[in-house]
Structure 1
Amino acid sequence: MSEATDIQQKMFDLVREHDLNGLRQLYHDDYVYLDAEGEQPGADAGIAVADKYKTAFPDLTFENRSTLACGDDVAVRELTVRGTHENELDGIAPTGRKIEVLVCNIVEIRDGKIYREREYYDNYSVLRQLGAISDT
């Protein structure tokens, strides 16, 4: 579709393969990751997020729901993320529970690399599916 959608797909492939060195090579020197926690500058921020979730959910999968190219340098992807909680996640001991969460990921490309990444998902839903919080 575009350079941005191709690079974004490669990013998800590298996360699925847990290839953190390959992922680091996709990040621009001025890379910034943004999620509900706020802006986190530097490739280490993106690597930490990928490593945290791939470690906690070793069977992590990404089902693409839609991909939009916004010119050649921006891609928006809506996906369903699934995985089994087999290792610690933010202090939550492994539960063996499966999760499924909708995610929106937006990347901006500069010089053929990911310059900005924004990710939106319902963390409350993840915690509820893990049994870490309840609706009551």
Structure 2
Amino acid sequence: MATFWDLKHWLADAINNHDIPGILCCYSPGAVYVTPSGVAEGHDQIAWMYEQFFRAFPDFHATAWFELGDCDNPAVTEWTYTGTHKGPFLLPDGREIEGTDRHITLRATCSTFVRDSRIVTHREYFDQLELYSQLGFGLTKIEHG
């Protein structure tokens, strides 16, 4: 039987290969994927979330640099995400940022909860301001009504 860490490593390989079917094999059918930009429930929504990121960053790559070794469930990993912004990037409010050709390097972490050899909840965290700043955007003044 596969360990939590085996599953996490298979997921990382599928992500780095941009292999949507391989990614979905790691998730239970009713899994929940929580990201800074939203929550996806089930295979269709999870696939859509990954597709949006791969469309925006076709060379996206995740490099694990720390795994919490004395913890099985959740499996906790710290990552460095890299990629070049080539395609439209969907913002949480529905707007899209067209490709900027800017390279990103983000620090991220995630917690992966496993049941019956499949991911049931995957919580991913990264600093959206760090991402937007690297894409050439920053904070804007909020107008009060």
Q: Tell me the TM-score normalized by structure 2.
A: 0.83
**What CA distance in whole angstroms lies between the structure 2 residues aligned with 1:39 and 1:96?**
27
- Root mean square deviation, CA, Å: 2.0
Shift of 1:44: 2.4
**Which residue of 2 is the match for residue 60 of structure 1?**
60
**Which residue of 2 is the match for residue 15 of structure 1?**
15
Shift of 1:121: 0.4
- 106, 111, 121: which one aligns with 1:116: 121
Q: Secondary structure at the match of 2:121?
A: strand
Shift of 1:95: 0.5
Gap regions ≥5 residues in structure 2: 91-95
**Which residue of 1 is the match for residue 93 of structure 2?**
none
Whether the aligned pair in 2 keeps the contact of 1:70 and 1:76 (CA below 8 Å) is no
Q: Percent identity?
A: 28
**What CA distance in whole angstroms lies between the structure 2 residues aligned with 1:58 and 1:78?**
21
Distance 1:64 1:135, change over 3 A: farther
Shift of 1:100: 0.6
**What CA distance in whole angstroms lies between the structure 1 residues aligned with 2:72 and 2:138?**
41
Which of these two proteins has the greater Rg computed from alpha carbons? Answer: 2
Q: Secondary structure at the match of 1:126?
A: helix
Cα-to-partner distance string for 1:6-65 (whole Å, 9 max, x where unaligned): 111111111111111121121112201122345432122322222111221111111212
Q: Secondary structure at the match of 2:77?
A: strand
Q: Tell me the TM-score normalized by structure 1.
A: 0.88
Whether the aligned pair in 2 keeps the contact of 1:98 and 1:129 (CA below 8 Å) is yes
Report the residue type matching 1:56 in the other structure: A
